[in-house]
Structure 1
Amino acid sequence: MTPVTTPQLQQTFRRRLLDGLAESIVAVGYRETTVADIVRRARTSRRTFYEHFAGKEECFVALLRDANAEMITQISAAVDPSTRWVTQVRQAIGAWIACAESQPGIVVSWIRDVPALGASGRDLQREMMAAFIRMVQTLSEADEWRAVRPEGVSRQLAILMLGGLRELIATTVEEGGRAGDITEVAVNATIALLAPPESLSLPS
């Protein structure tokens, strides 16, 4: 008789498999990780793995979706909309970096391994970028932001900021540094990028 599993138990198995993949990415990288590695680290069976995912790639995509959703939640929760906009930038960057430091292997894998997935990777990148853009634009609707940037943060400006920060973190971690090493440059660059246009003194 096939044992009956509850939705809660199914969710527990799924979480263990995602955590197993995350651990393997940190240890040997996504490309060298096998389903056997994931199952071993998750302390479960191949049968359980294939009850949840069609293969390693599907598990990887699910891991990244969950990780990015959690990152957006933590960044949004860290920002106090009643504080000065520059303080909100520091709060958001601080939360982003804290998330990156808690899962450095996933951060690098997101940048380096997702493009190798082909069409599904491009779809995932667009999906996740859209989610981060929505977060940035939602945060910029606060009164403190409206006072300095009434038009809000455009999609193009958000992409420029997010892409730069993500690449800087990935490069720093790849080179053996900590994500926290780039805190000040990330905060200062973001403030400069999002500052009201009239506050900039550009040469004619």
Structure 2
Amino acid sequence: MAETTTVPAPVADRLLDGLASSIGERGYRDTTVADVVRHARTSKRTFYQQFAGKDECLIELLRRNNADLIAAIAAAVDPDADWQAQIRQAVDAYIEHIDSRAAITLCWIREAPALGAVARPLHRQVMAELTELLVTLTGSAGFRRAGLAPVTPPLALILLGGLRELTALFVEDGRDVQGLAEPAVTAATALVGAR
């Protein structure tokens, strides 16, 4: 019988997981590097070999989290489905991701902007990628069959901004994020279908 060995996660991945765990436990502001390394089961020295500080570690965590969100939405949407079904698929994928990482999502919405200029490139990159995703999704066959043109980047950004704020309110209030589904579907349907 062959023996299997478990390959340890790369150190940076463990540190990012450690930060995510601490954010879920204490919030970002109250998290220290000591908390991160405790969760990651490593040392401060190892942490500082990977990241200049807690903020840099957060920015990488948020970058990866948002890349995962975008990939999940893109994978969940069937471009040949009816346009309204595609909206539901995208919203459901968004909610599933948020539900599994609510504290990280809230940190992206509320805490990252407080980092100032260091976090601005991340924010702009993610919003540009999400906007591009919405433009691409609304340019699919299901939308074209309905005679609907792709949403414009400014309209996509308006939709995203509203959804981000509503998401933050749900998470801050401890409400079930499944409650986001109907308002998000209604807003997206109205915005896309009314043009």
Provide the TM-score with structure 2 as the length reference. 0.92
Between 1:25-34 and 1:136-145, the stretch displaced more is 136-145
- CA shift in 2, pair 1:143/1:196, >3 Å: farther
Q: Note if 1:32 corresponds to 2:30.
A: yes
Q: What residue number does 2:126 align with?
A: 128
Answer whether contact 1:93 1:186 (CA < 8 A) is retained: yes
Q: What residue number does 1:105 align with?
A: 103
Secondary structure of 1:33's partner?
Answer: coil
Equivalent-residue separation in structure 2 for 1:128 and 1:182 (angstroms): 21
Q: Map 1:129-148 to 2 at 5 A.
A: 129-148=127-146
Cα distance, 1:141 vs structure 2: 2.0
Query: What is the one-letter code of the residue matched to 2:116?
Result: G
Decide which of 181, 186, 189 is 2:187's aligned counterpart: 189
- Percent identity, aligned pairs only, is 48
Structure 2, unpaired ranges of 5+: 1-6
Query: What is the one-letter code of the residue matched to 1:102?
Result: S
Answer whether contact 1:149 1:196 (CA < 8 A) is retained: no
Could you list the per-position Cα deviations for residues 128-164 of structure 1 after superposition, in whole angstroms to 9, with x for gaps in the alignment? 1001111111212211212345541111100011111
Answer whether contact 1:68 1:128 (CA < 8 A) is retained: yes
Between 1:130-139 and 1:61-70, the stretch displaced more is 130-139
Cα distance, 1:17 vs structure 2: 0.5
Could you list the per-position Cα deviations for residues 29-86 of structure 1 after superposition, in whole angstroms to 9, with x for gaps in the alignment? 1111110000000111112111111100000000000000001001000001111000
Answer whether contact 2:34 2:44 (CA < 8 A) is retained: yes
Secondary structure of 1:80's partner?
Answer: coil
Provide the TM-score with structure 1 as the length reference. 0.88
Secondary structure of 2:81's partner?
Answer: coil
Between 1:154-163 and 1:116-125, the stretch displaced more is 116-125
Q: What residue number does 1:59 align with?
A: 57
Secondary structure of 2:150's partner?
Answer: coil
Q: Map 1:152-167 to 2 at 5 A.
A: 152-167=150-165
Answer whether contact 1:165 1:186 (CA < 8 A) is retained: yes
Equivalent-residue separation in structure 2 for 1:172 and 1:68 (angstroms): 19
Total equivalences in the alignment = 189
The alignment yields a C-alpha RMSD, in angstroms, of 1.4
Structure 1, unpaired ranges of 5+: 1-7, 198-204
